[in-house]
């Protein structure tokens, strides 16, 4: 990956020189040398933006790794870990998302530890993009966070015991990056995770409002007001429900979806201590619904985990085989609906933390998540 990026930088420098030379030698009337160089820089920036757009709109048939999957023109799904030295993974997608912003980047990152992302945020800030960050106070001393602060990027932390657990960013009030993937080397290159990129001004408005409550108003956790302007949004014909915890009572929405399951439910859970959700799954199993659950091994050993309960009710329960961490928080229902986000299936997520969750009603999106589930459960 580093080699590919070095080659890209060299190619861009060469392109800049060639274009600049052409402009300087063309003798175009009325343009001074500084004006020509400014025009050249704009041309190069435009080329970079076009390249970013092409990366996002690459179709699934063009994907070079299982980490990337563009579902529709405005929805993309990515899975971690990203293959090292291979382009097109979740790491490249995140950097492209950040680089593509022209006006603003509002990022709520529980843990910002990946310096590559921090460097892009700093570059964008220096280019005039309004970059703002909310993070959890437990990770305020991370080098990447400090680099951003030293560069003048405003950073707000929650200053409380519960977590600001979101992993989302809003670009230009038009695009949203979210999911389970922290902006860390572990989450990008070692742990099992998922991320979505959705281009929708309405969903962006929801996430921007949530960001503003934390960044501008200092309202975290139970103090956060219920203020989602567009709780249900249709993107490319796909219905997406948008929720934030604790104000939107996410657990009730999850239970409602499970209660409607007719055939099967697949679960990928980093943490699963939510008894109400476990009991909803048990009710569906009593009606013949097949339940499979993949658990992060070390959390499943907790006395509060519901893995043993689900197994006793007839669920197929499997412990993950990743030597690092299975960090997903995903429920797939009937191959048609996906529940995902930062929201762990736990009391802390429901009552105390700042979290977000999406309920995506789409067989196409569900197919991508089911394929990832099958890869991980084997």
What tokens appear for 186 in the block?
């572990």
Name every residue whose Cβ is closer than 8 Å to that of residue 210 and which is 6 or more positions away in sequence. Answer: 108, 166, 224, 227, 228, 244, 354, 356
| Residue 334 is a catalytic residue | yes
Question: Residue 69 forms beta bridges with which residues?
Answer: 77
The beta-strand segments (E) located in 122-166 are 130-135, 155-157
Q: What is the rounded distance in angstroms from the CA atom of residue 371 to the CA atom of residue 366?
A: 8
Calculate the CA 3 to chain-centre distance.
26
Q: Is residue 203 within 8 Å of 230, Cβ to Cβ?
A: yes
The gap from C-alpha 285 to its chain's centroid, in whole angstroms, comes to: 31
Q: How far apart are CA 372 and CA 323, in angstroms?
A: 17
CA-based end-to-end distance of the chain: 29
Distance of alpha carbon 356 from alpha carbon 248, whole angstroms: 9
Catalytic residue among 138, 172, 236, 334: 334
What torsion, rounded to 10 degrees, do the Cα atoms 175, 4, 22, 38 define? 40
Angle at 111 between CA 96 and CA 60, to 5 degrees: 35
Catalytic residue among 125, 329, 352, 367: 329
SS3 359: strand
Q: 142: which strand partners?
A: none
User: Dmax over Cα atoms in the chain, in whole Å?
Assistant: 82
Assess contact for 328 and 180: CB atoms under 8 A: yes
**168, 178 contact by CB (below 8 A):** yes
Checking DSSP bridges between strand 329-333 and strand 104-109, what pairing results, if any? unpaired
SS3 95: helix
> What positions carry a catalytic annotation?
327, 329, 334
């Amino acid at each position: 990956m580093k080699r590919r990026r070095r080659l890209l930088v060299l190619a861009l420098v060469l392109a800049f020189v060639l274009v600049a030379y052409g402009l300087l030698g063309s003798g175009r009337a009325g343009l001074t040398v500084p004006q020509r160089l400014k025009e050249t820089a704009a041309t190069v920036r435009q080329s970079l933006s076009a390249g970013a757009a092409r990366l996002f709109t690459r179709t699934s048939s063009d994907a070079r790794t299982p980490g990337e999957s563009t579902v529709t023109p405005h929805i993309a799904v990515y899975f971690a870990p990203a293959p090292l030295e291979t382009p097109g993974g979740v790491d490249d997608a995140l950097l492209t998302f950040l680089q593509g912003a022209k006006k603003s980047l509002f990022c709520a990152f529980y843990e910002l530890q990946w310096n590559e992302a921090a460097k892009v945020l700093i570059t964008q800030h220096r280019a005039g993009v309004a970059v703002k960050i909310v993070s959890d106070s437990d990770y305020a001393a991370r080098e990447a966070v400090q680099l951003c602060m030293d560069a003048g990027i405003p950073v707000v932390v929650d200053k409380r015991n519960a977590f600001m657990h979101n992993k989302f960013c809003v670009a230009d009030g038009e695009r949203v990056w979210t999911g389970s993937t922290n902006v860390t080397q572990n989450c990008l290159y070692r742990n099992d995770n998922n991320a979505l990129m959705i281009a929708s001004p309405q969903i962006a408005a929801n996430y921007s409002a949530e960001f503003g409550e934390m960044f501008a108003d200092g309202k975290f956790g139970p103090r956060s007001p219920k203020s989602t302007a567009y709780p249900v949004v249709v993107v490319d014909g796909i219905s997406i429900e948008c929720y934030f915890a604790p104000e939107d009572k996410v657990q009730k929405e999850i239970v409602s979806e499970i209660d409607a399951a007719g055939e099967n439910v697949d679960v990928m859970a980093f943490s699963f201590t939510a008894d109400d959700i476990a009991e909803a799954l048990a009710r569906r199993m009593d009606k013949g619904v097949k339940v499979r659950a993949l658990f992060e091994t070390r959390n499943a050993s907790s006395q509060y985990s519901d893995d043993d309960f689900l197994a006793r009710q007839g669920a197929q329960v499997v412990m993950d085989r990743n030597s690092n961490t299975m960090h997903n928080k995903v429920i797939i229902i009937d191959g048609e609906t996906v529940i995902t986000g930062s929201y762990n299936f736990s009391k802390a997520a429901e009552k105390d933390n700042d979290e977000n969750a999406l309920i995506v009603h789409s067989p196409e999106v569900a197919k991508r998540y089911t394929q990832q589930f099958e890869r991980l459960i084997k």
